[in-house]
Structure 1
Amino acid sequence: MNCRVPANKRYQPTEYEHAANCATHAIWILPSMVGGSVLYFLSVDKWHRVAALLYGSGLTGLFLTSTLFHTAAWKISHLRKVEERFHKCDRMAIYFFIAASYSPWLMLRELGPWTYHMRWLIWVMACVGSTYVFFFHERNKLGELLGYVTMGAVPALVILSMVDRAGVCELALGGVFYAVGVAFFKSDGLVPFAHAIWHLFVAVGAGIHYYAIWRYLYLAGPQPQTSR
């Protein structure tokens, strides 16, 4: 690894770290596309199909944009404007991935009275966060991190109101992997391959959440939906 840099500058990975950053998300692009397609073909009504499309797109988009950005940072870092655009897309994709990850639960489960509002509010949050990234990219790194954490935590309060509690343990476990991974996200220059390790935590968290969605929302078949 290279030396740690000040908070207002971006860490410059070694060649090996660049390769690991690309590989640790590139390998999940095809599986995420297949996984989204599986959910779509398991769908029993239009709500299931819409949820599958949203979730599959968000999951694939996360790994794809991350891979493109890290490839650009590795191979065309001298084209600063191009690299910056890829970096913005990578950061925006995180917001939409969070929204897409919650959408199947908010659309397909019977939840409490806040469900209806959270279904559209989470996408508003994604748009607001993406707009901030577009105009103020990396002006306040800690603020951006808090934005992701807040968006990931707030809808969970609604999910906890599920009448059917199946899947809550998996959702919590996936959240733990995301939370622990953040420590590596902030450890460039302290831990070798820190960002690649963060990528692996993201992949494991996403895999656990996919399993929960597949098992409890699609394999289980249609459920009574009084809150739609």
Structure 2
Amino acid sequence: MTGSGEEISKQLQSGQNQKQDRNQINKQNRTLQHYGLDTDRFMNTRVPSSKRYQPTEYEHAANCATHGFWIIPSIMGSSLLYFLSDDQWESITAWLYGTGLSGLFIMSTMFHTVSWKKSHLQIVEQRFHMCDRMVIYFFIAASYTPWLNLRELGPWAAHMRWLVWIMACVGSAYVFFFHEKNKILDLICYIVMGAVPALVLLSMPNREGVLELSMGGVFYCMGVVFFKSDGLVPFAHAIWHVFVAVGAAIHYYAIWKYLYATGSSHIRSAR
């Protein structure tokens, strides 16, 4: 009973804090309007790093749309790779990659929808936010899996095939236990997770596709600027979503062209 009482107390306190944050944001926006700067529709005032930014209604809608749009294309694209597979290993690889790709867009859209329409359900929103953050780790691992599984690698580099998934599990465990405790550290973990396997891929004897991989990585890195710009740039998070979608599309194109498309089987490893 004591634990239950403490949980209820925490929920009430969290709700009061969010209400205070919203009141502060509304007060700041009224001040901006007084000077002719209307930000109510497109952007709210930036909040301290220890608090979560509260999007406007328009920003909420954009956050849902910019990733929701890609759910069906990602499923269709993943299915195409699966049907282009020549053997079971390629089918498994296509399934892992497709699950990570479509899972990213599905979970992101679900979280932003809950955050928009069910923000009063604090525990539910928090759980979806945790899942959204966890899926990013598995998406990164899944994005590298086709290259690690279907390309010839050196002896030491081949270990990255399973190490990348261990990193994803460790990252997810970190999110579970330390969700939003240190946002800068969260970002660093994602960057490290994305950079380490990339260094391994640079050692591939066959360099076809490296240019596209680099271009996709550039879009992800550019998007991080907007990821950290809520309250400074209108629709900043939605813009981040667009950069993620473009980066993912470039990587998908490279996987389709160099690993699965007809006539590319001669570059695959013998496994």
Tell me which interval the TM-score lies in, with the shorter structure as reference length: over 0.9
- Residue 4 of structure 1, CA deviation: 0.2
Q: Name the CA distance, whole Å, in 2 between partners of 1:191 and 1:21.
A: 14
> Which position in structure 1 is the counterpart of 2:221?
179
- Residue 154 of structure 1, CA deviation: 0.3
> Which position in structure 2 is the counterpart of 1:130?
172
Which of 203, 211, 219 is residue 245 of structure 2 equivalent to? Answer: 203
Contact residue 184 and residue 191 of structure 1 kept, 8 A: yes
> Which position in structure 1 is the counterpart of 2:151?
109
Contact residue 114 and residue 158 of structure 1 kept, 8 A: no
Q: Name the CA distance, whole Å, in 2 between partners of 1:224 and 1:200.
A: 31
- CA shift digits 1:3-59 (9 cap, x unpaired): 000000000000000000000000000100000000000001112111100000000
Which of 191, 208, 211 is residue 233 of structure 2 equivalent to? Answer: 191
Contact residue 149 and residue 161 of structure 2 kept, 8 A: yes
Q: For residue 44 of structure 2, what is the amino acid of its counterpart?
A: N
Q: For residue 109 of structure 1, what is the amino acid of its counterpart?
A: R
Contact residue 259 and residue 268 of structure 2 kept, 8 A: no
Call closer, same or farther: CA 1:224–1:21 in 2, change over 3 Å.
Answer: closer
Q: Name the CA distance, whole Å, in 1 between partners of 2:246 and 2:266.
A: 27
- Residue 115 of structure 1, CA deviation: 2.7
Is the aligned partner of 1:223 residue 2:223?
no
Alignment of structure 1 residues 40-119 onto 2, 5 Å = 40-119=82-161
- CA shift digits 1:159-215 (9 cap, x unpaired): 001111110000000000000000000000000000000000000000000000000
- CA shift digits 1:127-160 (9 cap, x unpaired): 0000010111000101010000000000011100
Q: Name the CA distance, whole Å, in 2 between partners of 1:221 and 1:194.
A: 41
Structure 1: runs of 5 or more not aligned: none
Q: Name the CA distance, whole Å, in 1 between partners of 2:234 and 2:172.
A: 30
Task: Give the number of the structure whose alpha-carbon radius of gyration is greater.
Answer: 2
Contact residue 21 and residue 199 of structure 1 kept, 8 A: yes
| TM-score, normalization by structure 1 | 0.98
Q: Name the CA distance, whole Å, in 2 between partners of 1:179 and 1:113.
A: 29
Q: For residue 217 of structure 1, what is the amino acid of its counterpart?
A: L
> Which position in structure 2 is the counterpart of 1:212?
254
Q: Name the CA distance, whole Å, in 1 between partners of 2:72 and 2:128.
A: 20
Alignment of structure 1 residues 151-166 onto 2, 5 Å = 151-166=193-208
Which of 47, 60, 70 is residue 18 of structure 1 equivalent to? Answer: 60
- Residue 221 of structure 1, CA deviation: 2.3
Structure 2: runs of 5 or more not aligned: 1-42
SS of residue matched to 2:265 = coil
Q: For residue 60 of structure 1, what is the amino acid of its counterpart?
A: S
Q: Name the CA distance, whole Å, in 2 between partners of 1:157 and 1:192.
A: 34
Q: For residue 58 of structure 1, what is the amino acid of its counterpart?
A: G
Structure with greater contact order relative to length (CA < 8 Å, sep ≥ 6): 1
Point out 4+ residue stretches in structure 1 off by more than 4 angstroms: none
Matched positions, count: 227
Q: For residue 123 of structure 1, what is the amino acid of its counterpart?
A: W
Q: Name the CA distance, whole Å, in 2 between partners of 1:111 and 1:162.
A: 6
> Which position in structure 1 is the counterpart of 2:187?
145
- Identity fraction in percent: 71
